[in-house]
Amino acid sequence: MNQLAPMKLSELAPATEDQQMAFVQALVAGRSPVLAAKAAGSDVLSLYLARCSSADFDDLWNLALLARRDTALHEVMEKSLAATGTIVWEYLTGPDGAALLDEDFNAVRGPRLVGCNPTILSKLIEKLMASADKPVSTTSVNVSASAASYVSTDLRPLPRLINPETDECP
């Protein structure tokens, strides 16, 4: 039975601005529209009415969904990288081999993937990322115990600071 049938159009009202903002915050936190509406102290119908009547709220709703999607993609990408190898933080160097420094002249560190199987990683990324002309792949990934035996896990040595008073310069 239709739940809207007993309601009169005059009884339908969009959600308040406070409810709308609480709803958007709950969406960004990863809740579904129904759970976000409950967290905002409103019902979904009132929020959809507010979305239809306010272009600003509609834009905020869409931005919240995009922000949550980007956060989820980032989390999945990090988990995919960690599942295929080990992420280590190392000091970054420029094309000339010199250490990269930030504005305070501190060495800059960045993540590097060590010991990964590129085939597995490419399949995970292919499975994760859809494009406009290609839907997400349904490729299955099988990992054997011997697959990682040929992958090197050696780290490059970190740069060593030399104290001219006690060490000899090379």
Average pLDDT taken over every residue of the chain: 75
For 67-93, the pLDDT digits (tens) are: 888 887 777 777 777 777 777 888 888
Q: Specify the pLDDT at position 32.
A: 87
Instruction: Please tell me the distance from the alpha carbon of residue 45 to that of residue 65, in angstroms, as a whole number.
Output: 18
Instruction: Please tell me the distance from the alpha carbon of residue 66 to that of residue 60, in angstroms, as a whole number.
Output: 10
User: What pLDDT band is residue 137 in, cutting at 50, 70 and 90?
Assistant: low
User: What pLDDT band is residue 13 in, cutting at 50, 70 and 90?
Assistant: confident
Q: Specify the pLDDT at position 73.
A: 76
Instruction: Please tell me the distance from the alpha carbon of residue 109 to that of residue 112, in angstroms, as a whole number.
Output: 10
For 119-133, the pLDDT digits (tens) are: 777 776 676 665 555
What mean pLDDT is predicted for residues 31-36? 90
* Residues linked to residue 86 through DSSP beta bridges, in sequence order: 114
User: What pLDDT band is residue 166 in, cutting at 50, 70 and 90?
Assistant: low
Q: Is the pLDDT of residue 43 over 80?
A: yes
The winner for highest mean pLDDT among 35-44, 119-128, 150-159 is 35-44
The H or E element spanning position 112 is strand 109-114
